[in-house]
């Protein structure tokens, strides 16, 4: 039994897309669950669109999500000799031929065919050519079968039959001498001994041609598994116009990698009723049999719910570090002037359960870190009225005496105030909340006071009383 080898083969032409990383995840999960190898290969044969920066984005994204690879990253541009050999071989055996048609001519003929209701297939104009065409560098086309049918046995879809006459002679080498995707992918998968090609559904139509190429080249085709697409709310292929689709965007939006992984895993795959999976559980439970066939609409709300879940679960220290990064990025915390680590953990502790993202947490944390609170006008006029000033002043006095300055002691002071004044707790708590945080929304007021500390609490309540007068 040969070992299982799978690969993720992105093209470095921009952001690392949600759909792409989902494909990577499924490949990775399959490899890890089967004890196979996961190979990373960069498909950069299109030199006009590939960039090193994009490669870095791919590597960073995969590392962030914890998808480690066993081999690579290989780059196709480093394997040109291999492609050339294969192409020359096909040429020699008459399984490929030179084509001198220009892209413009081809485009015109393709459109004409479509308009006439015919399959937009290459007309083999150059097939019988004996002499080179003057002044043109040829591309190379693969001579495909025009009779019979090619059957793709797909692990998620079953047998898919294509009539060979529908398939045209695809270009395997550009006129600039570089191989095209269809050739490079076949040569690489064959020579890298890839056993399972797991990729997006949008490649299903390429598969019969690739199968023919494998055979023409004398290779055994691998097993195929085509994953359903991820759609936007309008049920079309997920793309930029649907909003955040890049992995880095989710990172910036304050999502935890385990939330994204968990969410993506459940898009097109399931294991009974289970919703929450650790990476380890995913590895244990992942099978291609449980991959669905229908496309899935990307649902940001559910991702948000998962992110909230993982923020609750996460270690306070880890969240504190991530939070600190965001705080610095926003200039709320200056470099060299970081808050105490233990204190920050306490802050995380009270912010955690109401934060769905790290960015949300950062916004709530701001009031605890700035020198001067920004007062929301509406909150101020509603809660900081003259009649509350004496209450705040009394409260201030009593709070001053609380020692240790912790939740329970603070609570006693408030309860005492409620008993004496006959006011409802909310009537006292809200003004204090506004005084301390500048707004009407925050964690429990005793927690806020404790974490803010005696000094800041005094200062801010005093300032509020001053503001009222």
Catalytic residue among 63, 111, 125, 240: 240
Q: Which is nearer to RNA, 43 or 258 (CB)?
A: 43
CB of 427 to RNA, least distance (A): 9
Q: Which is nearer to RNA, 3 or 287 (CB)?
A: 287
Q: Would you call 424 a catalytic residue per the annotation?
A: no
Rounded CA separation 80/218 (Å): 19
CB of 88 to RNA, least distance (A): 17
> Within 13 A of 38's CA, how many CA atoms are on the CB side?
20
Rounded CA separation 266/271 (Å): 9
143 contacts 94 by C-beta, under 8 angstroms:
yes
CB of 334 to RNA, least distance (A): 28
Q: Which is nearer to RNA, 34 or 180 (CB)?
A: 180
Rounded CA separation 11/155 (Å): 24
CB of 336 to RNA, least distance (A): 32
CB of 419 to RNA, least distance (A): 13
Record the tokens describing residue 362, joined without a space: 């950062």
DSSP-derived letter for residue 224 is E
Which string of DSSP letters, residue by residue, matches 268-317?
SB--TT-----HHHHHHH--GGGB-SS-EE--HHHHHHHHHHHHHHS-HH
Residue 315: burial class (beta carbons within 10 Å; 0-12, 13-18, 19+)? exposed
CB of 213 to RNA, least distance (A): 13
Determine the angle formed by the axes of helices 18-34 and 257-265, rounding to 10 degrees. Answer: 80
Strands 149-154 and 158-163: antiparallel
Q: Which is nearer to RNA, 180 or 212 (CB)?
A: 180
How far is the CA of 342 from the CAs of 91, 255, 350, 412, in angstroms?
69, 23, 13, 25
Q: Which is nearer to RNA, 34 or 442 (CB)?
A: 442
Q: How far is CA 456 from the centre of its chain?
A: 40
For the annotated catalytic residues, the residue numbers are 240
């Amino acid at each position: 039994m040969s070992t299982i080898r799978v690969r993720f083969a992105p093209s470095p032409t921009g952001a690392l897309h949600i759909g792409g990383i989902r494909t990577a995840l499924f490949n990775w999960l399959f490899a890890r669950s089967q004890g196979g190898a996961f190979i990373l290969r960069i498909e950069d044969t299109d030199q006009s669109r590939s960039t090193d920066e994009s490669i870095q984005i791919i590597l960073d994204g995969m590392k962030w999500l914890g998808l480690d690879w066993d081999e690579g990253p290989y780059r196709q541009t480093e394997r040109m000799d291999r492609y050339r050999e294969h192409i020359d071989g096909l040429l020699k055996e008459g399984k490929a031929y030179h084509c001198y048609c220009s892209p413009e001519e081809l485009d015109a003929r393709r459109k004409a065919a479509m308009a006439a209701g015919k399959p937009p297939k290459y007309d083999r104009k150059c097939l019988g050519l004996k002499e080179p065409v003057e002044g043109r560098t040829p591309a190379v086309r693969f001579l495909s079968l025009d009779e019979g049918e090619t059957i793709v046995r797909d692990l998620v879809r079953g047998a898919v039959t294509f009539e060979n006459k529908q398939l045209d002679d695809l270009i395997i080498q550009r006129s600039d001498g570089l191989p095209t995707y269809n050739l490079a992918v076949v040569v690489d998968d064959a020579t890298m001994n890839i056993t399972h090609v797991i990729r997006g559904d949008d490649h299903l139509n390429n598969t019969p041609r690739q199968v023919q190429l494998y055979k023409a080249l004398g290779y055994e085709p691998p097993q195929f598994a085509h994953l359903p697409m991820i759609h936007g709310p309008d049920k079309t292929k997920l793309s930029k116009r649907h909003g955040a689709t890049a992995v880095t965007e989710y990172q910036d939006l304050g999502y935890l990698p385990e939330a994204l992984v968990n969410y993506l895993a459940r898009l097109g795959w399931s294991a009974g009723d289970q919703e929450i999976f650790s990476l380890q559980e995913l590895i244990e439970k992942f099978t291609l049999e449980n991959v669905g066939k229908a496309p899935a609409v990307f649902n940001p709300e559910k991702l948000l719910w998962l992110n909230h879940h993982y923020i609750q679960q996460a270690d306070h220290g880890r969240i504190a570090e991530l939070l600190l990064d965001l705080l610095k990025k926003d200039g709320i915390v200056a470099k060299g002037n970081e808050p105490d680590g233990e204190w920050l953990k306490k802050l995380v502790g009270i912010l955690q359960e109401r934060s769905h993202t790290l960015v949300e947490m950062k916004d709530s944390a701001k009031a605890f870190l700035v020198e001067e609170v920004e007062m929301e006008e509406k909150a101020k006029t509603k809660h900081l009225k003259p009649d509350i000033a004496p209450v705040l002043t009394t409260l201030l006095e009593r709070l001053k005496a609380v020692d240790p300055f912790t939740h329970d002691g603070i609570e006693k002071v408030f309860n005492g105030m409620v008993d004496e004044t006959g006011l409802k707790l909310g009537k006292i708590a809200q003004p204090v909340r506004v005084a301390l945080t500048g707004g009407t929304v925050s964690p429990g007021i005793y927690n806020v006071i404790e974490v803010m500390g005696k000094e800041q609490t005094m200062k801010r309540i005093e300032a509020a009383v001053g503001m009222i007068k």
